Amino acid sequence: MEKRIGAAIILVKDRAAINYLNKIVSEHAEIVIGRQGIPLQQKEINVITLVLEGSTDEIGSLTGKLGRLEGVQIKSALIKNDTVESGNSGIS
């Protein structure tokens, strides 16, 4: 299956959702390349960014489960990366 590189931005408004969010992300650890979390304490929200590499089905499974959590919003973007499939780094 064709792999994609993607990013997901997650806005967590309800801290009670964080344990569930962490569990879901851990279940999909094989497609997570990187993760960054930023607490915005004055606004009482957390922003988490994920860099992902996987098929559209794998990424959709992760983002779909996260999007169904109460108090969580998520947006993602995917790009086709020919170098992922061929093993070519794209550097000459």
Say whether pTM exceeds 0.85. Answer: no
Q: Which residue type is seen at 43?
A: K
Amino acid at 75: K
- Mode of pairing for the β-strands spanning 72-80 and 45-54: unpaired
Q: Which CATH number fits domain 4-79: 1.10.357.10, 3.30.70.1150, 3.30.450.20, 3.20.20.210?
A: 3.30.70.1150
**What are the residue ranges spanned by the domains of the chain?**
4-79
Four-residue CA torsion sign, 27, 31, 37, 43: negative
Strand, coil or helix: 78:
strand
pLDDT digits (tens, 9 = 90+) for 24-80: 999 999 999 999 999 999 999 999 999 999 999 999 999 999 999 999 999 999 998
pLDDT exceeds cutoff 60 at 86: no
